[in-house]
Amino acid sequence: MTSTLPQHIAIIMDGNNRWARRGLLPSLAGHRAAITTVRNVIKHCHKLGIPWLTLFAFSSENWRRTADEVSGLMQLFLNVLEKEAGKLAEHDIRLKIIGDSSALSPQIQAAIERCEAKTRQCKRMTLMVAVNYGGMWDLTRAFQKLAAVVKTEDLDPQSIRPVQIQEYLATEDAPPVDLLIRTSGEKRISNFLLWQCAYAEFYFCDTLWPDFTTKDLDVAIADFQGRNRRFGRSE
């Protein structure tokens, strides 16, 4: 057991569509409601002094959803980017978007660039938002980059160490995930941060993401603090 706070929390924000259906609302209503939860969770992590928070906003598999839902999600993401970047900077929170941005519209790519630039010097906390992200994509891209280095810089493949692979991941300098939270009752990580979660503690709860509160986050952190993290060592 430990009283130490997790240094890196990652959250799979699941259950927006089910929340909307439960209220007989269109799916986008669930995604809009989720924004309030996102704001509250960021504020609470900031208050607790947790330096790294990663949120899974849109996976590389989510393109399979209806065109209307995807279009609505992208517009919502653009609106939030343009509205929230200034607030993040005011609270010394660095924003980093991870994922394959090449598939996003030029307008969204430009907004990402502006928002990241506005918060680049912030140091109190780093907020990473995964958009068009997949763990297998992340690893494949890292291996491709390393292979190019092996080919052009005479790097011995046998000398490659995990720390070098980590440098080529989308998360770059982020520490490993300590606590992975998934809402809505699903118990899988859905291709999220596969390398980064190697020794993460997993916490699953039935609460749908729009209903997730700071008290729920405190419960997840308390559960984390009750774990015995051995990292391969014996008792």
Q: Would you please indicate which residues are annotated as catalytic (active-site) residues?
A: 14, 62
Residues in Cβ contact with 172 at an 8 Å cutoff, skipping those fewer than 6 apart: 166
What would the two tokens of residue 218 be? 């405190």
Bridge partners (DSSP) listed for residue 59: 133
Neighbour-count burial of 151, counting CB atoms closer than 10 A to its CB (0-12 exposed, 13-18 middle, 19+ buried): exposed
What is the C-alpha to C-alpha distance for residues 120 and 116, in angstroms, rounded to an integer?
Answer: 6
Residues in Cβ contact with 208 at an 8 Å cutoff, skipping those fewer than 6 apart: 14, 15, 16, 18, 19, 22, 183, 184
Maximum Cα interatomic distance, the chain, rounded to a whole number of Å? 60
Which sign, positive or negative, has the C-alpha torsion 187, 193, 198, 200?
negative
